[in-house]
């Protein structure tokens, strides 16, 4: 609770959510590394550490494919911060397989920073995609941790 006249600043309490992006529609399909499927921009402070987390659902048009998740800095060609993979055991029409992946990032400048999620079919022959809908959204978060 705050009192009148006090200024509240984001990113002062560990665990505080700084930025969120929510996807509620399927992405286009991909085989090679995709363009940005989700992006989030957060106002960061130099020297502070943040958690970047993606909670999404991957699917493929062919069973037994492996789909990769990447979190990158700035653009879909930016520095890779995280690589995670999901094995698509069977085709689950409009459901997908969940991935929850996170990485810590220490800001090198006080500025707005963009984080990007991309997908790629790592092995197999199908077309991958990020599955999302209003009852099964995908999330990309930035939380303040410490510093």
59-100 confidence digits (pLDDT tens):
999 999 999 999 999 999 999 999 999 999 887 666 789 999
Q: Indicate if the pLDDT at residue 10 is higher than 90.
A: no
Mean pLDDT, the chain, integer? 91
CA dihedral 93, 120, 19, 51 (to 10 degrees): 110
Residue 2 lies in a domain: no
- 61 in Cβ contact with 77 (< 8 Å): no
Residue 60 lies in a domain: yes
Residue 7 lies in a domain: no
Residue 71 lies in a domain: yes
Residue 137 lies in a domain: yes
Dihedral pair phi/psi, residue 43, rounded to 5°: -85, 110
Residue 128 is predicted with a pLDDT of 94
Q: How many domains does the chain have?
A: 1
Residue 99 lies in a domain: yes
Percentages helix, strand, coil for the chain, rounded to the nearest 5?
A: 0, 55, 45
- 136 in Cβ contact with 5 (< 8 Å): no
Residue 101 lies in a domain: yes
pTM over 0.85: yes
Tokens for 127, please give them. Answer: 């077309």
Residue 138 lies in a domain: yes
Q: How far apart are CA 116 and CA 140, in angstroms?
A: 9
| Residue 106, domain extent | 22-146
CATH of the domain at 117: 2.60.120.1340
């Amino acid at each position: 609770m705050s009192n009148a006249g006090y200024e509240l600043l984001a990113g002062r309490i560990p665990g505080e959510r700084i930025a969120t992006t929510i996807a509620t529609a399927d992405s286009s399909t991909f085989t090679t590394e995709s363009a940005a499927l989700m992006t989030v921009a957060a106002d960061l402070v130099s020297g502070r550490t943040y958690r970047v987390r993606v909670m999404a659902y991957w699917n493929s048009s062919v069973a037994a494919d492996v789909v990769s998740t990447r979190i990158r800095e700035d653009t879909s060609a930016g520095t890779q911060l995280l690589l995670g993979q999901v094995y698509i055991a069977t085709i689950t029409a409009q459901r997908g397989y969940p991935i929850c992946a996170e990485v810590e990032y220490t800001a090198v400048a006080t500025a707005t920073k963009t984080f990007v999620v991309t997908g790629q079919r790592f092995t197999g022959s199908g077309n991958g995609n990020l599955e999302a809908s209003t009852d099964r959204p995908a999330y990309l978060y930035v939380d303040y941790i410490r510093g």
